[in-house]
């Protein structure tokens, strides 16, 4: 059968895709089955504790471990001198030492590893390691106008047309600067790793989004070949990007400890240690100048995007790249000049975090557009409608989009279901002279899926699929489940593509040596690349199933199809259970195993930043309705209407879950989450003093999907994991700004900030 004919089968009425299939991991999670790394480590093993810098920037003059080794129960203390391989963490910029030797650049930086027979002894001993410092000047902030060249990590730009000319043609021009803060991932499960390097193969169990990054880092730092490192990615208790890079060095710390002492070791961070030392969202300062002509058409955008990369470069170039790509929003721009730069500070390295630069950038542009609409005196929806991207539009980088652009539909639907336009006027009148003011705000959003031109070599989808002798389909895949629902969605797609019953499909994840490297579980790309890899596997395996069916039965006639784990003739008159076919195929030595491979469309940019940097774009509109007590600054987010175009939705329940969670996590960055520093040291690294939204703060959330199907995606799907967070922040902030009649330009805007803003002179 030709591949086209097989693909046509997918167009039939769908049995599982688009259906509310319950999560496959729900039962084991709610019943407390041992699935996380701390459950899976043996009860008896050594414990590691990290000795960390107490200074934001200092030269290390001496490390004295003599007293520590005398403590009963202490097994070893490991420093940079004990590293057999390379003392740098592998990353886009591999500048972060694995263990600091001569210098430290943030409070919490790793200096030494103490190994002891139990956790208490390890913790006690770690405090006794004497590190002698010579303090150096430090920075935890930066000035957008004065960036010292020696602090620059990287830069990125897009240039198109002539912005000077564009601003001359404009009737209205505004220029504003916006700021966003750092954010903690606040996964429920703190970072943790178990390692056993006592045998020939170094075995690691880690809560990680990227088991192959862990494998590579352990191999480099220990100086052993890749195939000697076996990483089992356990179920992840929340990652949100925070388990993208960090586990690479946390696992290597644990593995090195085990390697040196020759025994199994566990390294499990507690909350304070995790918050102090792991990566955070990049703080940003973004200046945007935009112009619009008499007809309401955008004429030019000039933007400067500055990100705080923290102490080391690591993943920052990729985050900056995306911030620059999306800072112009989902709009058409004839003239563009965007410059992005990342600077060093003495904070923990900034890292991957849901949205990956887009939340900062989209908050800035969507605030700026609201300011411009206000200046023009028009409905903010209208301005977005005039300029919004649609099917066939060209993006900021001149990439021609296909028909799968549902942005304007999302604006329209959001307006209708929230009654935005009506309430906007109503609340403006209602608020006059009142203490409790109501507001409604709207924001468009776009972002991408996939790794972009820089990450293209790793942006693949691979599955290893097998029909077992008893007629079940086993899908092995090197992705991780961190709550986003990938296990469920992959199972649905596999069942649909192969025509199997859901209960006859098994999805197995988790082991780097047994599986094939399908790249990292990041950038909302799992559904897209794995769905496509499954299609490829089906193209290879289905013909063998059909050929075997024809061998078994003389009555069955082509074209054949698989449904409900049975092979049917086209007129449905004859059917054979898959199990009968697989049994027969095995006895005839037919190979019922296939590797499904997917290579996404090539992505690229030129020296001006123009080109086709991503293979898929996704869109959303959020509307938020809020109530602000102007005497206290307290905000209640009452409702959020979230309309998303992520292509075909594979599972409406898990997809809505992504939207709901993303909105609340965005609320955190918008209103609550703020790290406080004193003398270069973070002082609120706990959930008492660092506030995140809880279920009591969560608004009513109304989710809708505009399913503009992608021609490239499986069943037309794209991705949904990150964009809800991106869209919710400017919607909430625009709503509060509407309520209080003052513009918020810096987030988090805490209740206290809002209180003072209400008292400030109106601007």
Residues that bind ligand MOS (CB under 6 A): 209, 241, 244, 352-354, 356, 522-523, 722
- What's the min distance (Å) between Cβ of 236 and ligand MTE? 7
With residue 218 as reference, give the H or E element that holds it: helix 211-222
Closer Cβ to ligand MOS, 355 or 439, answer by number: 355
Structure tokens at 260: 């040196």
Establish whether the linkage from the previous residue to 559 is cis, with ω within 30° of 0.
yes
575 phi, psi to nearest 5 deg = -140, 150
What residue 316 binds from ligand MOS, ligand MTE, none (CB within 5 to 8 A, per partner kind)?
none
What residue 475 binds from ligand MOS, ligand MTE, none (CB within 5 to 8 A, per partner kind)?
none
Closer Cβ to ligand MTE, 74 or 701, answer by number: 701
- What's the min distance (Å) between Cβ of 252 and ligand MTE? 22
Closer Cβ to ligand MTE, 241 or 329, answer by number: 241
625 phi, psi to nearest 5 deg = -120, 130
C-beta separation of 746 from 179 below 8 A: yes
Closer Cβ to ligand MOS, 180 or 209, answer by number: 209
Q: Does 698 bind ligand MTE (CB under 6 A)?
A: no
- What's the min distance (Å) between Cβ of 583 and ligand MOS? 42
Q: Does 484 bind ligand MTE (CB under 6 A)?
A: yes
What residue 325 binds from ligand MTE, ligand MOS, none (CB within 5 to 8 A, per partner kind)?
none
* Residues whose CB falls within 8 Å of the CB of residue 329, separated by 6 or more in sequence, listed in order: 362, 365, 366, 369, 444, 445, 446
What residue 193 binds from ligand MOS, ligand MTE, none (CB within 5 to 8 A, per partner kind)?
none
Distance CA 587, CA 566 (A): 19
Q: Residues 408, 409, 411, 415: is their CA dihedral positive or negative?
A: positive
Q: Residues 512, 516, 519, 523: is their CA dihedral positive or negative?
A: negative
Q: Does 357 bind ligand MTE (CB under 6 A)?
A: no
The 449-468 site mask, x for binding ligand MTE (CB under 6 A), equals --------------------
Distance CA 154, CA 340 (A): 8
Using CB under 6 A, which of the segments 315-323, 477-485, 615-623, 666-674 binds ligand MTE?
A: 477-485
Structure tokens at 349: 């390295």
Closer Cβ to ligand MTE, 528 or 568, answer by number: 528
C-beta separation of 507 from 487 below 8 A: yes
Please count the other Cβ atoms lying within 10 Å of the Cβ belonging to residue 691: 16
Distance CA 467, CA 474 (A): 6
- What's the min distance (Å) between Cβ of 451 and ligand MOS? 9
C-beta separation of 369 from 383 below 8 A: yes
Structure tokens at 123: 């913790």
What residue 661 binds from ligand MOS, ligand MTE, none (CB within 5 to 8 A, per partner kind)?
ligand MTE
271 phi, psi to nearest 5 deg = -60, -45
Q: Which of 358, 547, 552 is CA-nearest to residue 560?
A: 547
What residue 526 binds from ligand MOS, ligand MTE, none (CB within 5 to 8 A, per partner kind)?
ligand MTE
The 717-756 site mask, x for binding ligand MTE (CB under 6 A), equals --x-xx----------------------------------
Indicate the SS3 state at residue 88. Answer: strand
In sequence order, what are the beta bridge partners of 175?
A: 289
Structure tokens at 685: 């690294």
- What's the min distance (Å) between Cβ of 300 and ligand MOS? 31
- What's the min distance (Å) between Cβ of 240 and ligand MOS? 7
What residue 483 binds from ligand MTE, ligand MOS, none (CB within 5 to 8 A, per partner kind)?
ligand MTE
- What's the min distance (Å) between Cβ of 522 and ligand MTE? 5
Distance CA 97, CA 101 (A): 8
- What's the min distance (Å) between Cβ of 643 and ligand MOS? 22
What residue 234 binds from ligand MOS, ligand MTE, none (CB within 5 to 8 A, per partner kind)?
none
Distance CA 278, CA 267 (A): 14
Q: State which of residues 482, 729, 731, 732 lies at the interface with ligand MTE (CB under 6 A).
A: 482
Please count the other Cβ atoms lying within 10 Å of the Cβ belonging to residue 57: 22
What residue 658 binds from ligand MOS, ligand MTE, none (CB within 5 to 8 A, per partner kind)?
ligand MTE
Q: How many residues bind ligand MTE (CB under 6 A)?
A: 21
C-beta separation of 359 from 178 below 8 A: no
Structure tokens at 673: 């989450």
- Residue of minimal Cβ distance to ligand MOS: 241
Structure tokens at 6: 């097989």
Closer Cβ to ligand MOS, 93 or 449, answer by number: 449
Closer Cβ to ligand MTE, 121 or 183, answer by number: 183
Closer Cβ to ligand MTE, 486 or 630, answer by number: 486
- What's the min distance (Å) between Cβ of 398 and ligand MOS? 25
- What's the min distance (Å) between Cβ of 531 and ligand MTE? 11
- What's the min distance (Å) between Cβ of 356 and ligand MOS? 5
Distance CA 758, CA 592 (A): 68
Closer Cβ to ligand MOS, 478 or 499, answer by number: 478
What residue 314 binds from ligand MOS, ligand MTE, none (CB within 5 to 8 A, per partner kind)?
none
Closer Cβ to ligand MTE, 57 or 525, answer by number: 525
Distance CA 405, CA 617 (A): 8
- What's the min distance (Å) between Cβ of 219 and ligand MTE? 25
Give residues 521-540 in contact with ligand MTE (rule: CB under 6 A).
Answer: 521-527
Q: Does 107 bind ligand MTE (CB under 6 A)?
A: no
What residue 519 binds from ligand MOS, ligand MTE, none (CB within 5 to 8 A, per partner kind)?
none
Distance CA 191, CA 351 (A): 15
Closer Cβ to ligand MOS, 205 or 354, answer by number: 354
What residue 237 binds from ligand MTE, ligand MOS, none (CB within 5 to 8 A, per partner kind)?
none
Give residues 224-243 in contact with ligand MTE (rule: CB under 6 A).
Answer: 238-241
With residue 47 as reference, give the H or E element that holds it: strand 46-52
Distance CA 98, CA 332 (A): 44
Q: Does 354 bind ligand MTE (CB under 6 A)?
A: yes
Between helix 407-418 and helix 420-431 the angle, nearest 10°, is 50
Q: State which of residues 661, 666, 680, 714 lies at the interface with ligand MTE (CB under 6 A).
A: 661
Closer Cβ to ligand MTE, 477 or 578, answer by number: 477
Closer Cβ to ligand MTE, 727 or 757, answer by number: 727
Residue 636 Ramachandran class (φ > 0 left, ψ -120 to 50 alpha, else beta): beta
C-beta separation of 355 from 297 below 8 A: no
504 phi, psi to nearest 5 deg = -95, 5
Indicate the SS3 state at residue 686. Answer: coil
Give residues 485-514 in contact with ligand MTE (rule: CB under 6 A).
Answer: 486
* Residues whose CB falls within 8 Å of the CB of residue 666, separated by 6 or more in sequence, listed in order: 359, 724, 725, 726, 727, 728, 729, 732
Distance CA 354, CA 239 (A): 9
C-beta separation of 600 from 529 below 8 A: yes
Using CB under 6 A, list all residues that contact ligand MTE.
238-241, 354, 482-484, 486, 521-527, 658, 661, 719, 721-722
């Amino acid at each position: 059968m030709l591949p086209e004919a097989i693909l046509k089968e997918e167009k039939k009425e769908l049995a599982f895709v688009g259906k509310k299939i319950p999560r496959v991991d729900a039962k084991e999670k709610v019943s407390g089955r041992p699935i996380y790394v701390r459950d899976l480590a043996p009860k008896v093993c050594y414990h590691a504790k990290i000795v960390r810098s107490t200074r934001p920037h200092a030269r290390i003059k001496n490390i004295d471990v003599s007293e520590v080794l005398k403590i009963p129960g202490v097994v070893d203390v490991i420093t940079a001198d004990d590293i057999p391989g390379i003392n740098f963490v592998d990353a886009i910029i591999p500048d972060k030492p694995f263990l600091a030797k001569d210098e430290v650049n943030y409070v919490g930086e790793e200096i030494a590893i103490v190994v002891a027979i139990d956790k208490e002894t390890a913790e006690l001993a770690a405090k006794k390691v004497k590190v002698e410092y010579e303090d150096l000047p430090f920075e935890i902030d930066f000035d957008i106008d004065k960036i010292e060249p020696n602090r620059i990590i990287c830069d990125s730009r897009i240039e198109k047309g002539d912005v000077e000319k564009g601003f001359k043609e404009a009737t209205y021009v505004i220029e504003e600067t916006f700021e966003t803060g750092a954010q903690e991932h606040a996964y429920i499960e703190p970072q943790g790793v178990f390692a056993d390097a006592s045998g020939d193969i170094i075995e690691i169990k880690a809560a990680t989004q990227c088991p192959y990054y862990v494998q590579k880092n352990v191999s480099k730092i220990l100086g052993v070949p890749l195939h000697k490192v076996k990483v089992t990615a356990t179920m992840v208790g929340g990652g949100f990007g925070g388990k993208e890079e960090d586990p690479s060095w946390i696992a290597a710390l644990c593995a090195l400890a085990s390697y040196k002492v020759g025994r199994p070791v566990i390294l499990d961070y507690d909350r304070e240690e995790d918050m102090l030392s792991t990566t955070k969202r990049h703080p940003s300062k973004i200046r945007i100048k935009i112009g619009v002509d008499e007809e309401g058409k955008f004429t030019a955008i000039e933007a400067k995007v500055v990100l705080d990369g923290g102490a080391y470069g690591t993943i920052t170039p990729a985050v900056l790249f995306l911030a620059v790509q999306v800072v112009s929003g989902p709009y058409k721009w004839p003239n563009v000049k965007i410059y992005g730069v990342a600077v060093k500070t003495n904070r923990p390295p900034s890292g991957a975090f849901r949205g990956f630069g887009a939340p900062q950038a989209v908050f800035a542009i969507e605030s700026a557009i609201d300011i411009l609409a206000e200046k023009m005196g028009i409905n903010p929806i209208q301005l977005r409608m005039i300029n919004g991207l649609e099917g066939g539009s060209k993006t900021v980088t001149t990439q021609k989009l296909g028909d799968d652009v549902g942005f304007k539909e999302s604006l329209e639907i959001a307006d209708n279901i929230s009654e935005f336009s009506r309430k906007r006027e109503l609340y403006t009148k209602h608020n006059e002279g009142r203490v409790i003011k109501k507001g409604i705000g709207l924001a468009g959003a776009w972002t991408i899926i996939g790794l972009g031109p820089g990450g293209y070599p790793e942006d693949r989808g691979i599955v290893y699929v097998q029909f077992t002798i008893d007629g079940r389909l086993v899908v092995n895949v090197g992705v991780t489940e961190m709550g986003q629902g990938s296990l469920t969605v992959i199972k649905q797609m596999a069942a649909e593509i192969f025509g199997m019953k859901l209960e006859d499909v098994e999805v197995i994840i988790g082991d780097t040596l047994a599986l094939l490297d399908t790249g990292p579980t990041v950038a909302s790309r799992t559904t897209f690349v794995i769905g496509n890899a499954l299609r490829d596997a089906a193209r290879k395996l289905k013909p063998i199933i059909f050929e075997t069916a024809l061998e078994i039965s003389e009555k069955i006639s082509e074209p054949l199809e698989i449904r409900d784990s049975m092979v049917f003739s086209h007129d449905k008159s004859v059917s054979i259970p898959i199990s009968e076919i697989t049994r027969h195929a095995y006895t005839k030595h037919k190979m019922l195993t296939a590797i499904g491979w997917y290579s996404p469309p090539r992505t690229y940019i030129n020296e001006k930043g123009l080109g086709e940097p991503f293979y898929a774009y996704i869109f959303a509109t959020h509307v938020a309705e809020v109530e602000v007590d102007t005497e206290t600054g307290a905000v209640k987010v009452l409702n959020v209407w979230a309309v998303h175009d992520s292509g075909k939705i594979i599972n409406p329940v898990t997809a809505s879950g992504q939207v709901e969670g993303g909105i609340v996590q965005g609320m955190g960055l918008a209103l609550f989450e703020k790290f406080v520093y004193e003398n270069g040291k973070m002082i609120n690294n706990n959930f008492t003093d660092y506030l995140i939204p809880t279920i009591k703060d969560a608004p009513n959330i109304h989710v809708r999907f505009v399913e503009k199907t992608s021609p490239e995606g499986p069943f037309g799907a794209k991705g949904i994991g990150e964009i809800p967070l991106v869209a919710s922040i400017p919607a909430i902030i625009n709503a509060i700004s509407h309520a209080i009649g003052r513009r918020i330009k810096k987030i988090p805007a805490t209740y206290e900030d809002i209180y003072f803003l209400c008292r400030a002179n109106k601007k």
